[in-house]
Structure 1
Amino acid sequence: MPSRDALPPLTCLRAFEAAARHGSFTQAGGELSLTQSAISRQIKRLEKDLGRPLFERTAEGLRPTPAGAHYFRVVQRLLRELGDETARLRRHGDDQQLTLASSPTIASHWLARRLPDFQRAHPEIEIRILTVEDPYRLDLDEFDLAFYYHLKGEVDPPGLLAEPLFGGEEVIAVCSAAYLERHGAIHDADDLLARHTLLVVEDHYNDWLTWEVWYRAQGLDWHPPAHRLRANSFQLLMNATLAGQGVTLGWAKLLEADLRQGTLVQALPLSLPSPGTLSLLTPQHRHLRPAPRAFRDWLLEEQGSAGRKGCSMDAAPRT
């Protein structure tokens, strides 16, 4: 029989934390890639070890007992701290590891296409990509360098230095060649609204990049389009654009490779200067290890930005 001072197995604690957070054994199992019965067995084992029930079933579903609710708060805090510290030690434990954070769109359309050249120059460096839509969710200890669009004048998490990678950026309307083949050419801005499908990001964080703003800033008449496809993810809209489902707004330099290869085409000969620019974000007050320093120097040289001064981070809107 285990000592009464022994801690419960980590698997039991993880199952309990997930079940209490979701209020469901089934959803906890889905998160942990376990069956509902496996979660139930872990909870019963933990309850036997503790000598008291942790959950009760009500008409509304599964609910922690008072003791279970208190234990959940303790376990959740400890598991989070353990996870954060484990990630920190893993990241800092090897000078040849490099963690790069960005939005999924930047990671897939821009960053991943530059990594092969860097890896050929630095085969000894192991790279990890962390995709986070919202820069507010970034923990400064989780990454070495990050890439987001930098928009001045907005409140943003402190502690980041921003170095613009592009001298200027244009926002353009893009679609796939297959879309034009199926729906015909887009004759002008009025025709786009009248006959075609506009892909729209439902995201308050990107209010500075909406179709209405794009139209009105160029002196174009705006009214709601005849057809819209909405999503809360810009990356999802980009996938829909590539699949020929409509026309979306995008950054010309971010999508340069797709435009050059013909997977995307400019739908209209119009553009709007972007208020934000893709920037390299570096946590301030941290000594850069050899791997992130090598990547930073390589990237800024590649982008023709070597020697450009960084500015204090005002904002980093995601794409």
Structure 2
Amino acid sequence: MSGRDALPPLQCLKAFEATARHCSFTQAGRELNLTQSAVSRQIKRLEEDLGRPLFERVPDGLRPTPAADHYYRVVRRLLRDLADETARLRRHGDDHQLTLATSPTIASIWLSRHLPEFQRQHPHIEIRLLTMEDPYRLDLTEFDLGLYYHLEGQVDPPGLMAETVFDEENVIAVCSPHYTRHHGEVGTPEALLRQHTLLVLEDHFNDWLTWQDWFKALELTWHEPTHCLRANSYQVLLNATLAGQGIILGWEQLLADELRQGHLLRALPQALPSLGKLSLLIPQHRHLTQASRTFQRWLARL
């Protein structure tokens, strides 16, 4: 391909597509994990390559020029097709394989109990689990669908749209029967803070699920607890809870089987409606495979 006919660099096209979609260098940068100035430089390079301006500044941000508006639709379609084909090849061309991205906790506590029924109904679909605590670290080309607790408007992984799995969800305090046998019933929120061990998650992504916020939202008196066990992994803390090491905040629907089977019990009667909901995360601008659509329909019937 001659220099005159050479295509623009892929990173410039990705920056252009994101900027045109958001009408903002800043929001495009967040999605692409780039600074605002880096996105601006990519757009300038593309404008120099094409020999024409692509955006004009308006009071509320950016507006694509008429030529850029048409170019955006072409680039968006090509990037989507390229992502689809890349994902297909990475899955070795197997249309019957479904890669689910999720957190280790959801995979071990919830999916492990429900997936056998899905596999019984759809034995031709091969399941692959990709576990990662933070959906911000996901590579959209490496999975088909995601399952995470999603806080609408505040925790929105770029390039994904969310469909709620549980319409209603409560956050409750739970512990194991083993813990109460050795440490006694909790009794009151005040006793919880003074006499028991709180398991505390140190994770910037999940900092909307904290003991302090739970107490304050329920209009309970909060002060720093006497005893804590801290970790940056919810799965580690949940395993510690099951082993009788303390009391943790958990989602009632997610832990329903553990509660029903008596592996966990409610440490306090109070319940707080959850800000985050278990959600199916669907990559935008991608054609869903048949396996993905089958799983999506199955999940909606649970």
- TM-score computed with the length of structure 2 as normaliser: 0.70
In structure 2, the partner of 1:277 is: 277
5 Å-filtered alignment, 1:221-300, equals 221-300=221-300
Identify unmatched segments of 5+ residues in structure 1: 1-84, 303-319
Amino acid aligned to 2:295: F
Structure 2 CA distance for aligned equivalents of residues 207 and 249 of structure 1: 12
Structure 1 residue 111: Cα displacement: 1.3
- 1:254 is matched by which residue type in structure 2? L
Aligned-residue offset at 1:156: 2.9
Aligned twin of 2:153: 153
Aligned equivalents of 1:94 and 1:144: distance in 2?
12
Paired position in structure 2 for 1:64: none
Aligned residues: 218
Percent of pairs with identical residues: 66
Q: How many Å apart are 1:88 and its aligned residue? A: 5.2
Q: Which residue of 1 aligns with 2:214?
A: 214
Per mean C-alpha deviation after superposition, the further-off stretch among 90-99 and 186-195 is: 90-99
User: Cα RMSD (Å) of the superposition?
Assistant: 1.4
CA drift of 1:204 comes to: 2.0
Q: Secondary structure at the match of 2:286?
A: coil
Contact 2:177 2:264 in 1 (8 A): yes
Residue 23 of structure 1 corresponds to: none
Does structure 2 retain, via aligned residues, the 8 Å contact 1:175–1:248? yes
Instruction: Find the aligned partners of 1:158 and 1:201 in 2 and give their Cα distance.
Output: 24
2:110 partner SS: helix
Deviation at 1:171? 0.3
For 2:178, what is the secondary structure of its paired residue? helix
In the alignment, the residues of structure 1 paired with residue 149 and residue 87 of structure 2 have an alpha-carbon distance, to the nearest angstrom, of: 26
Asked if the contact 1:88/1:142 (under 8 Å) is kept, the reply is: no
Asked whether the equivalents of residues 136 and 158 of structure 2 are also in contact (C-alpha less than 8 Å), the reply is no
Deviations 1:152-201 (A, max 9, x none): 22253322121101111100000000000000111110111111000001
Residue correspondence of structure 1 range 110-259 to structure 2 within 5 A: 110-154=110-154, 156-259=156-259
SS of the aligned residue for 1:205 comes to helix
SS at match of 1:213: helix
- In 2, Cα distance between equivalents of 1:143 and 1:299: 17
CA shift, 1:268, in A, is 0.3
Contact kept? 2:88, 2:94, Cα under 8 Å = no
TM-score with structure 1 setting the length: 0.66
By how many angstroms is 1:86 displaced? 8.2
Give unpaired runs (5+ residues) of structure 2. 1-84
CA separation of 1:92 and 1:296: change in aligned 2, threshold 3 A: farther
